[in-house]
Amino acid sequence: MLIDMHNHTSEGSKDSRITASDLFLIARGRMLDGLCVTEHDSFRSRKAVEVASASTRLLAFQGVEVSTDYGHMLAYGIRSSLWDTEDAVIDTVYLRGMIHGREQISLSELRKAIQSKLEIRTSWTAKEIIEETHRQGGCVILAHPFSYAGEETKTMHSFLGSISNSVIFN
């Protein structure tokens, strides 16, 4: 079974120009059995991936490419709720209390208030993402192992035993 384990879509990652639909069509043309879509720090493309998978009859998996203090790590088998707040509900009473009678609020103030209310994680250390992924029964792979440089390579050995694998060509 051939499954490409590191893909991005334009629906979920700023560094991709290919839609989930086109990505799955190309994968089918290349005789792959499935794709794992690993968007940057999110599961934003989940719905588009489900539709593309169904239309091409290819297997679809979702992981996440997590930005950490040691670069990007691919986390598989992890709940989307750590990042995905698409269906979250915020009480309007909370929002009204936040603006304190003002008629306008800046987007940055609103973003901060929503993030604090939803407890959205915006950054992870490598150690934290490895521990959380393992706690959930998943595995972690280094996404770009040859891009690490400087001081981080001197201390990276402290967690390498917890990494399941590494990408060697991307």
pLDDT of residue 41: 84
User: Would the pLDDT of 52 be above 90?
Assistant: yes
61-107 pLDDT, tens digit each? 999 998 888 788 899 988 765 655 554 555 566 666 666 667 777 78
Q: Which CATH number fits domain 3-85+124-166: 1.20.210.10, 3.20.20.140, 3.40.50.720, 3.40.50.300?
A: 3.20.20.140
8-37 pLDDT, tens digit each? 999 988 889 999 999 999 999 999 999 999
Tell me whether strands 34-40 and 3-7 are parallel, antiparallel or unpaired.
parallel
Q: Is the dihedral of CA 28, 29, 32, 33 positive or negative?
A: positive
pLDDT of residue 154: 47
Beta-carbon contacts of residue 141 (< 8 Å; ≥ 6 apart): 5, 73, 74, 76, 163, 164, 165, 166, 167
Domain boundaries, the chain: 3-85+124-166, 86-119
User: Would the pLDDT of 1 be above 60?
Assistant: yes
Read off the pLDDT band of 124 (50, 70, 90): confident
pLDDT of residue 168: 47
Confidence (pTM): 0.70
Q: Are 59 and 3 in contact (CB under 8 A)?
A: yes
* Residue in the structure block whose two tokens are 């979702």: 62
Beta-carbon contacts of residue 107 (< 8 Å; ≥ 6 apart): none
Rounded CA gap, 110 and 101, in Å? 14
Over its C-alpha atoms, the chain yields an Rg (Å, rounded) of: 18
Q: Are 159 and 130 in contact (CB under 8 A)?
A: yes
143-167 pLDDT, tens digit each? 876 665 555 554 555 555 556 555 5
Which residues in 32-43 are b (16+ Cβ under 10 Å) and which e? bebbbbbbbbbb
Which residues in 78-90 are b (16+ Cβ under 10 Å) and which e? beeebbbbeeeee
Read off the pLDDT band of 128 (50, 70, 90): confident
pLDDT of residue 17: 94
pLDDT of residue 89: 53
